[in-house]
Amino acid sequence: MDIHTPQPTVGIVIGSTREHRFGEKAAHWIHGLAKKRADLRFELLDLRDYPLPFFDGMSPSRAPVKDETARRWGAKLAQLDGFIFVTAEYNHSITGVLKNALDWAYHEYDRKPAAYVGYGGVGASRAVEQLRLINVELKMAPLRSAVHIGGADFMGMLMQGKTFDDMPHLAQAANLMLDELAWWTKALKAAREAAAETAPA
């Protein structure tokens, strides 16, 4: 990689703000694995740090965002080159707070990859599928690979004192996902930069 090119940065979004959320544990786990890589930088984004109001305005695709917290959220997203969304499954979909956060931005997601860590019922597979559809509408590139923490794995950690170290198959799935995410993050960053250089002044 060209030493003058900034290293791509991926945001790991903790998609729940509940008091006893499992998402924080899952996010720190994937962050620990990701930090072992030399090809990307990773940053945790906690939605508790962005107490966004309920979205009820005009789409950010058509009008500037006025809310100060939402502007701060958008500015952070703009600095990132890709995302890992850590999500629970609520009623076969993603958390309300994550959907609300996604709705508060638009251009900041454009042509950036999205990967997923889901937990809960069926490993949050239905929530992740919903999230992929939302990400497509936001002009992102959702990845096929994901990590699904469900069934005995989820209950073992939630109720029986087990840890991620007891479940090496999850790390295996995570590393495959991170490999795919690294390829797409670097490829799309290069493509965005090339398009910016050739855009009319």
Question: What are 53-106's pLDDT values in tens digits?
Answer: 999 989 999 999 999 999 999 999 999 999 999 999 999 999 999 999 999 999
CA 152 – CA 161 distance, rounded (Å): 12
Q: Which two tokens stand for residue 137?
A: 């509408």
Residue 179 has pLDDT above 50, yes or no: yes
For the chain, list the domains and their CATH numbers: 9-195 (3.40.50.360)
Decide: helix, strand or coil at residue 61.
Answer: coil
* Pair type for strands 113-119 and 82-87: parallel
Cα 152 to the center of its chain, rounded Å: 24
Tens-digit pLDDT profile for residues 24-35: 999 999 999 999
